[in-house]
Structure 1
Amino acid sequence: MTIRPVADRHRSTASRHFAVIGAGIAGVACARTLLQAGHRVTVFEREVGAGGRMASESTPFGRFDSGAQYFTVRDPRFARALETAPKVCKPWSANLVRVLDAHGRVAEAALPALEPHWVAQPGMDALVANWSVPLGDSLVTQTQVTHIERDALDAKRWQLRTAGVDDSTHVYSGFDTVLLAVPPSRTRALLDNGKHSQEISQKIEAVRIAPCWTLMIAFPQANQPTMSHLGPQWNAARSTHHRVAWLARESSKPGRDRIERWTLQASAAWSQEHLRDDAPRVEAKLLRAFAEITGIRAEPSHAQARCWAEAQTQIPVGKPHLWDAKARIGVAGDWCTGHRVEDAFLSGLTLALKVA
Structure 2
Amino acid sequence: MAKKSSIRSPESAAPRRIAVVGAGIAGVACARTLVQAGHDVTVFEKSTVPGGRMATRESEFGGFDHGTQYFTVRDARFEKALATATKLVRPWSANTVRILDELGRVVASALPPKEAHWVATPGMNALVKEWAQPLAAAGRLVLETEVVRIEPDKLHAEQWQLQTEGAGSRVHSGFDAVVLAIPSAQAQALLLSSQQGKPLLAQLSDVSVAPCWTLMLAFPKALQPTMAHLGPHWNAARSTHHRIAWLARESSKPGRSPIERWTVQASPEWSERHLEDDGERVKAKLLKAFTEVTGIRAEPPHAVVHRWRHAQTMQPLGKSHIWDAKSRIGVCGDWCLGHRVEDGFVSGLEMALALA
Fold in common (TM above 0.5): yes
Residue 145 (str. 1) matches residue 151 (str. 2) = no
Q: Does the CA contact (< 8 Å) of 1:193 and 1:201 recur in 2?
A: no
Q: Supply the RMSD in Å over aligned alpha carbons.
A: 1.7
| 1:129-168 to 2 correspondences below 5 Å | 129-135=129-135, 136=137, 137-165=139-167
Q: Which has the higher strand share?
A: 1
Q: Aligned residue for 1:107? A: 106
Tell me the amino acid that sits aligned with residue 111 of structure 1. Answer: A
C-alpha offsets along residues 112-144 of structure 1, whole Å, 9 cap, x if unaligned? Answer: 211110000000000000100111210000111
Q: After alignment, is 210-219 or 88-97 more displaced? A: 88-97
TM-score, normalization by structure 2: 0.93
TM-score, normalization by structure 1: 0.93
Stretches of 4+ aligned residues off by more than 3 angstroms: 224-229
Give, in whole Å, the separation in 2 of the partners of 1:236 and 1:105: 12
C-alpha offsets along residues 34-74 of structure 1, whole Å, 9 cap, x if unaligned? Answer: 00001100000001111001010000110000100000000
Q: Does the CA contact (< 8 Å) of 1:188 and 1:194 recur in 2?
A: no
Q: Does the CA contact (< 8 Å) of 1:146 and 1:160 recur in 2?
A: yes
- Aligned-pair CA distance for 1:98: 2.5
Give, in whole Å, the separation in 2 of the partners of 1:261 and 1:13: 50
Q: Aligned residue for 1:245? A: 245
- The DSSP-based 3-state class of the residue aligned with 1:154 is coil
Aligned residue pairs total: 342
Q: Closer, same or farther in 2 for the Cα pair 1:49/1:225, shift >3 Å?
A: closer
Tell me the amino acid that sits aligned with residue 151 of structure 1. Answer: D
Give, in whole Å, the separation in 2 of the partners of 1:341 and 1:105: 28
Q: Does the CA contact (< 8 Å) of 1:99 and 1:293 recur in 2?
A: no
- The DSSP-based 3-state class of the residue aligned with 1:83 is helix
Q: After alignment, is 189-198 or 339-348 more displaced? A: 189-198
Q: After alignment, is 89-98 or 216-225 more displaced? A: 216-225
Q: Does the CA contact (< 8 Å) of 1:96 and 1:111 recur in 2?
A: yes
Tell me the amino acid that sits aligned with residue 174 of structure 1. Answer: G
- Aligned-pair CA distance for 1:197: 1.2
Percent identity over paired residues: 61
Q: Aligned residue for 2:83? A: 83
Give, in whole Å, the separation in 2 of the partners of 1:13 and 1:114: 41
- The DSSP-based 3-state class of the residue aligned with 2:58 is strand
Q: Aligned residue for 1:232? A: 232
Q: Closer, same or farther in 2 for the Cα pair 1:224/1:97, shift >3 Å?
A: closer
Q: Aligned residue for 1:292? A: 292
Q: Closer, same or farther in 2 for the Cα pair 1:228/1:204, shift >3 Å?
A: closer
Give, in whole Å, the separation in 2 of the partners of 1:218 and 1:314: 30
Residue 218 (str. 1) matches residue 215 (str. 2) = no
Q: Aligned residue for 1:8? A: none
- Aligned-pair CA distance for 1:304: 0.6
Q: After alignment, is 224-233 or 169-178 more displaced? A: 224-233
Q: Closer, same or farther in 2 for the Cα pair 1:175/1:32, shift >3 Å?
A: same
Q: Closer, same or farther in 2 for the Cα pair 1:105/1:28, shift >3 Å?
A: closer
Give, in whole Å, the separation in 2 of the partners of 1:39 and 1:88: 28
Give, in whole Å, the separation in 1 of the partners of 2:95 and 2:231: 14
Q: Closer, same or farther in 2 for the Cα pair 1:270/1:327, shift >3 Å?
A: same
Give, in whole Å, the separation in 1 of the partners of 2:289 and 2:305: 14
Q: Aligned residue for 1:5? A: none
